[in-house]
A = this chain, B = another copy of it.
Amino acid sequence: MSKPVKSPPGRPRSAQSHQAILQAALELLAEVGFDRMSIDAIATRAGVGKPTIYRRYKSKQELVADAIESCRQEYVVPDTGSLWGDIDALINSAAQITFTPLGRQTVAMMISTASSNPQFAQVYWTKYLQPRRQAFAVVFERAKQRNEIQADLDPDLVFDLISGIMLYALVFQATTEPLEGYIRRTLHLLLREPPS
């Protein structure tokens, strides 16, 4: 059989260009940051025309949001059998994503965009934080069943506190103590355990 698919004239590169654009955007985001990254540069590096980008995204923010979104890895709720094991896994996972040049840029862009363009923060919240918050709730539920923590402890509040302190450490990186200890001390305080 010869090719029966007579696809509409000329769209074969679509996926390829798409990937090249996202790749170039991510590279440049990590290299020079959001502000200094130009659409022209992305197009050139991706070997793509500017309209090809604008056909897909209305703005730089949209493009970058999608680029960041595209490289999110599979997310699984850890289940190591103990509360602290699960927590370590969650924190490591978050730290690996956040405390890199790309992660910093992501957060920076999101924050600086947030006031003028709240839906961008919304996207980040929904796509990224929400699942982790729910995962955290699952971890907490298991811990409660194991009697590792009190039954009335609000997992969302704890999660938000941890997220906040990570954000805080991200911003004032050089001026605060190492992040790990910070988070550990916080959790011990919240869980009413003596620091180990």
Interface window among A89-97, A100-108, A136-144: A100-108
Is A171 a contact partner of B111 (Cβ separation < 8 A)? yes
Is A173 a contact partner of B114 (Cβ separation < 8 A)? yes
User: A116 interface residue, CB < 8 Å from B?
Assistant: yes
Is A172 a contact partner of B125 (Cβ separation < 8 A)? yes
User: A19 interface residue, CB < 8 Å from B?
Assistant: no
Is A122 a contact partner of B174 (Cβ separation < 8 A)? yes
User: A176 interface residue, CB < 8 Å from B?
Assistant: yes
Residues of B within 8 A of A167 (CB): 164, 167-168, 171
Residues of B within 8 A of A175 (CB): 121-122, 125-126
Is B109 a contact partner of A174 (Cβ separation < 8 A)? no
- The listed residue (B116, B121, B185) touching A174 by CB distance below 8 A is B121
Residues of B within 8 A of A33 (CB): 115-116
Residues of B within 8 A of A174 (CB): 118, 121-122
Interface string of A27-63 (1 = CB under 8 A from B): 0000001111000000000000000000000000000
Q: Can you sample 24 A-B contacts with CB below 8 Å?
A: A104-B114, A108-B115, A111-B111, A111-B171, A114-B170, A114-B171, A118-B174, A125-B172, A125-B175, A126-B175, A129-B172, A154-B185, A154-B189, A157-B182, A157-B189, A160-B176, A160-B182, A161-B164, A163-B168, A164-B164, A164-B166, A167-B167, A189-B190, A190-B190
- Pick the 5 closest A-B CB pairs, nearest first: A164-B164, A164-B168, A112-B112, A164-B165, A108-B112
**Besides A160-B182, A167-B171, 9 other A-B contacts (C-beta < 8 A):** A108-B111, A111-B112, A114-B172, A121-B174, A122-B175, A125-B175, A160-B165, A167-B168, A190-B190
